[in-house]
Structure formats: structure tokens, C-alpha cells
Structure 1
Amino acid sequence: MKYQIVLLLLIVSFGGCGQRGTSNGNMQEEKPGTAVTLTHTAFGKIEKEIILSATTMYQNKSVVSAPIPAFITEVLVQPGSRVKAGDVLYRIESKEQHALGNGNHAVIPIKVERDGIVLDVQQQAGSYVTEGTVLCSVAEAGSLVFEINVPYEQQRYAHSGIKCMLELPDGTRLTATVHAPLVTMNMVSQSERVIARAKAPFLPEGMNVKAVFTENDSSSKGLILPKSAVQSDETLTKHWVMKLADNGTAVRVPIEVGNSNASEIEIKSDALSPQDRIILTGGYGLEDGAKVVVTKEEAAL
């Protein structure tokens, strides 16, 4: 009898362990939801942007040259120096005076004729130069223009009087006005050179700049989403978003897209509404029907 009781207790114990093992196994199989953040669509309109290349250029420049064969005794400017009419740029000494060793008693000052900015300094102190050698070049500060290369088929975007946005390499944006085009055309690219003017700080000549034009669109406002919420295939021909369903799962919704800018994109299809909760982050690679956990949700506009 005693052995039967012990055996019965062992059977009950093993049965409980098996149930706990089964229970633990079921818990391990249940995967936690993917953490995501949510956003909503908003009504708006994104203008189509046409981006062209541009270059800084000073239209009024003067070249300062050596009037006689001479030695340069002193250089008083450097590239970027602002000068006024009558300022001394260089001091030179004729080779005869230099041979006599008269020092600074017979130096010849080289002065600038008008206000401007020194673009380059080509000769340094101690150098010997012949007559006509270029010493430096000076540009009139107010003559800075932006030379835009406009493909001939895109002339309608850059005609005289139209406004555009000039984006500098550091991200600074300047509002500019297009003026009359130049009479020459690049034979290789078949692009026309158009001059635009803007109120700008001192900029070096030859800087590459983006000229951004917007195309007027008569279409009405539509839905807009952050770009990071929209996914696409490798060919960029199919687009979709992941929408949060009422049961806490992600649902894939195919969409059509329109114009876009650096941060937002238009939704042209009727697949979404402002009430939909769209996955903003964490949705990349999610399968249709995947369980998610919301960590943050942007307020609907």
C-alpha cells in the first residue's frame, strides 16, 4: 500500500511538470508585437519642383596689371578683401631702382580704380613681373549674378521676371529673380544660360548652386504623408503604406503617389482617409497582418 501511494504521487508530479512545460512552450511561441509610431494624413498640396544647376559669377570685373617691368615689394590685399577706390593693392619697384638698392624711396603704388572685392591675388612679394603681368582681379560687389543652365525644353520655367529659389552648398536659400537670357548656348548639352539676381552676401566666383523653380499646378489639395511612412519596391513603381487595423495588426494598403519634397509626399489615390492611423516608423519589412505595439502617435490635423 505504501508503494502504491508513492507511485501515485510520482505520477501526479510528472503530470504537473508536463502541463507546466506545455504552458511554457505556448508562452514562448507567442511573439511580441513590433514597436511602431503612428501618423495621420493631412490635407495639402506640394508644388512640383524643377531643379537646375547654377554658378556664381561677377559681371563687372577689372584686371590689375603691372604697368612696367618691376619687382613686387609689398602685397596689401588677399582674396576676399573689400577695397575702395584709391586703395593701394601692391607696391612695386622698377628693376633699375631695385638694382640701385634705393629701398622704398622709389616704390610705385598700384591702386584700385573702383570699389569692389578682390577675387584672386596672383603675384607675391619678391616676385619679378614683366609689363602687363596680371597682379590680381577685382569684382564690383554689386555685380554678383547667378548663371543658370536651362535646357532648351525647360525654357518655360525660367523666363524673364519669374522668381526662383537658389540653394547654396551650406543649405542657405535665397530668393532670386530671373533676368534676360544670354545670347550663347552650350552646344553639347543644348542648354541656355540665364542670369538671375538675388540679395546675397559675398560669395566666391564659380560656386555651384541649385536653382529651384516651382511649376504652377491647378489641381486641388489632396492628402499628404511624411515620406518615411511610404514604402516602395526596388523599381519605385509600386508604393504602399502600413495602416493600423482595429485589432492591433498592420495592414498593407497600396497607394498612388504624386509630387514630393524633401520631407513629404502627395497621396493621389482614394485608399486613405484622414482618420486612418498610418505607421510612420517600424513598418519597414512588416508582413500584412503582423501584430504591432504603438509607442507614439502624432495628433491628427
Structure 2
Amino acid sequence: MKNKITIPFIIVLFLMLLQSCKKEEVAITETETIIPVTVTTIDTTGIDDYEEVSGTVSYIVKTPIKSIITGYITAVNAKTNDKVVKGKRLFSIKTKEAIALGNDVNKLDPKLNFGSAVSIPSSSTGFITSVNVENGNYVQEGDVLAIINDSNNYGVVINVPFELKKHIAINQQLSIYLPDGTSILATVKQFIPAVDASSQMQSVFLKMNSNDVLPENLIVSVSIPKSNKSNIITLPKTAILSNEIETDYWVMLLKNDSTAIKVPVQIGLKNQERTEIISPKFKATDKIVTSGNYGVGDTIKVKIIKSAK
């Protein structure tokens, strides 16, 4: 009898516990992330087809400062990295005879001015890259006392495939892009009359249009225009996103003032600033995200903070 009472009691208790474990539904309001973005519209004026080549900041003329007599260095007015102008006295040299007999000869005839030091001036304007002597050193005629990087022959040397030479002309203006993201203009001044035997590259010397002094051996990139393509749709490079291996490309297109969606695109020509969009054919009124678009989902909530062409 006792077991008959216990079993129904356990069943009732189990049902009560099961009912009490049901949770009430709670309305959870998700806070959507709103991303501040910059947007732009398409451009149809065209794009230049460029070939990007690397270049190196170089002084193609290095001037040796040589001793014109044999003797002792009596003065050194040059230090490594000093900027010097043509004609500045860098060294003074006295011969052994001048040091030994100078005073005695001058006592006999002061007008002879025997024993004066011979000045060695800078033969070019530029920067001293090395000084090879010190005060008191004995030098032979023809010894190299210092080396000067000639500022008149300072610029960028690019190495181009020979077939690209037809797109370059003397006095042509080219854009040089520096590692810090800035750019300067340079003028084509000289084709080096030889090609590298193994790479078949020809060197071309460009002289900077500005007075900016860049460090020697700095690696830069140079854009060589090959052709111009007009009446095409282009967007700033910052608007174009891709996967890691750059096989898929897309942009974030504004669906309305607060929502942007991912739109796959096919790209064509591109240069340092802009990229051609082959498809889809965006309208002039379409707004494309140019900042705030990296690492986001396929659909995002946005707030436009700036519109730029």
C-alpha cells in the first residue's frame, strides 16, 4: 500500500518540477554597431595605363678630391656628410721643402712667400661621403683626399625592360612614389647607353624637379604611362576590397543612407590612385564606401561622415 501511494506522488512531483523549469521568453534588444564611413561616387573621365617600375635614389657622379702636390696635410675643412659648394677650400697641403725651408727663404726675400700652403678646393657642389686623410698625414700627388656626391647629378635611376623604352622620352615628366606615400615629379634626363647582360634592363636617369634631398639608395617606384583609356568607370583604390590571394574583389555599396551591402566587382586597369570597374555598371548616383569598409560583414549599418570624389 505504501508503494502504491509513493509512485503517484513521485510522478506528480516530477511534473511540477518540469513545469517550473520552463523559462519565460525575454525580449532581447540587440545593439547594432553603426560604422562611420566615407563615401564616393564613380568617375568616368578615364584612367592612364601605367607600368610600375622600381628605382633607386642615386648620385651618378661621385667626384674624387685629389691632392695636386706631394706633402703634408696642414688643414682639414671637410667632414663626412657635410654639404659643400664648388670652390670651397677643403684641404691645405705643404711640401716637405716648404716646411723645412720656408721661414729661411722668406727671411731672405719676403716677396717670394715661399712655404705657403696649397689649397685644395671642392670641384663640385654636393655632399661629402668620405674623408680619407687627417691633419698631419703625408700624401702623394694624386691621392684621393675625399669623395663628393655631385648634386648636379643627383636623382633616381630606374631599370626598365628594353621594350618599355618606347614609352619614355627625354624631358618627359614622371611621378616618383616614395615609401611614405608621398610623390614628387622628376624629369627624364639620360638613357644609360647599355643594358644589363642577364636581365636585359636599361637604366634611365631622372632628375628631381624639387629641391628635396632624399637619402641615397632609397628605393622608390616610378609610374610610366603606356596608354589612356577614356569613358570608363573608375573608383578610388581605397574602395576596392579583395581576398588574400586577390582573386575576388568587391565594394561596399550604400543601399540607403544607413545600410551598405557587399557587391562583387570585376576590375580592369589600375594605377596608384584609381581602379577601373568593368562590372557591374554602377550609376553616377551610387555611393561607394571608401573608408570604414575593411574587415566588415556582407551587410553593415553605417553613418556617413564625409563624401568625397
Q: Give the TM-score normalised by structure 2.
A: 0.71
**Alignment pair present for 1:132 and 2:131:** no
C-alpha spacing 1:204/1:136, structure 2 compared with 1 (3 Å): farther
Superposed counterparts of 1:134-173, under 5 Å: 134-138=144-148, 141-167=151-177, 173=183
Aligned to 1:185: 195
Structure 2: how far apart are the matches of 1:280 and 1:157?
32
Structure 1: how far apart are the matches of 2:142 and 2:96?
15
Superposed counterparts of 1:94-243, under 5 Å: 94-95=95-96, 106-112=115-121, 114=123, 116-120=125-129, 121-138=131-148, 141-167=151-177, 173-201=183-211, 203=213, 206-208=216-218, 209-224=220-235, 226-243=236-253
Q: Indicate the SS of the match to 1:245.
A: strand
CA shift for structure 1 position 192: 0.6
CA shift for structure 1 position 90: 0.5
Structure 2: how far apart are the matches of 1:66 and 1:202?
32
CA shift for structure 1 position 75: 0.8
Aligned to 1:3: none
1:256 to 256, 259, 266: 266
Aligned to 2:40: 40
Structure 2: how far apart are the matches of 1:71 and 1:41?
72
CA shift for structure 1 position 47: 2.2
Structure 2: how far apart are the matches of 1:210 and 1:283?
27
Structure 1: how far apart are the matches of 2:239 and 2:210?
37
C-alpha spacing 1:33/1:147, structure 2 compared with 1 (3 Å): same
Q: Deviations over 1:246-300 (max 9, x none)?
A: 5965533111123344554332213432333434445445444x4x432225347
Q: Which amino acid aligns with 1:109?
A: V
Structure 2: how far apart are the matches of 1:246 and 1:169?
37
Q: Which amino acid aligns with 2:119?
A: I
Structure 2: how far apart are the matches of 1:167 and 1:269?
29
Is the Cα contact below 8 Å between 1:255 and 1:271 reproduced in 2? no
Structure 1: how far apart are the matches of 2:63 and 2:261?
67
C-alpha spacing 1:212/1:122, structure 2 compared with 1 (3 Å): farther
C-alpha spacing 1:214/1:72, structure 2 compared with 1 (3 Å): same
Q: Which amino acid aligns with 1:266?
A: E
Structure 1: how far apart are the matches of 2:171 and 2:92?
45
Aligned to 1:5: none
Structure 2: how far apart are the matches of 1:247 and 1:171?
32
Is the Cα contact below 8 Å between 1:179 and 1:196 reproduced in 2? yes
Q: Indicate the SS of the match to 1:175.
A: strand
**Alignment pair present for 1:67 and 2:61:** no
Is the Cα contact below 8 Å between 1:145 and 1:195 reproduced in 2? yes
Q: Indicate the SS of the match to 2:164.
A: helix
CA shift for structure 1 position 77: 2.7
Is the Cα contact below 8 Å between 2:65 and 2:123 reproduced in 1? no
Compare 76-85 and 169-178 and name the one that shifted more.
Answer: 169-178
C-alpha spacing 1:118/1:108, structure 2 compared with 1 (3 Å): farther
CA shift for structure 1 position 232: 1.4
The share of aligned pairs that are identical, in percent, is 26
Aligned to 1:51: 52
C-alpha spacing 1:215/1:82, structure 2 compared with 1 (3 Å): same
Is the Cα contact below 8 Å between 1:49 and 1:212 reproduced in 2? yes
Aligned to 1:83: 85
Is the Cα contact below 8 Å between 2:52 and 2:224 reproduced in 1? yes
CA shift for structure 1 position 238: 1.0
CA shift for structure 1 position 193: 1.6
Q: Which amino acid aligns with 2:35?
A: V
CA shift for structure 1 position 135: 0.7
Q: Indicate the SS of the match to 1:42.
A: coil
Structure 2: how far apart are the matches of 1:66 and 1:201?
31
Q: Deviations over 1:2-32 (max 9, x none)?
A: xxxxxxxxxxxx99xx89x42x3x31xx433
Question: Any gaps of 5 or more consecutive residues in structure 1?
Answer: 1-13
Q: Indicate the SS of the match to 2:279.
A: coil
Structure 2: how far apart are the matches of 1:236 and 1:110?
63
Is the Cα contact below 8 Å between 1:56 and 1:146 reproduced in 2? yes
Aligned to 2:279: 269
Is the Cα contact below 8 Å between 2:65 and 2:148 reproduced in 1? yes
Is the Cα contact below 8 Å between 1:149 and 1:191 reproduced in 2? yes
CA shift for structure 1 position 114: 4.7
Structure 1: how far apart are the matches of 2:308 and 2:119?
68
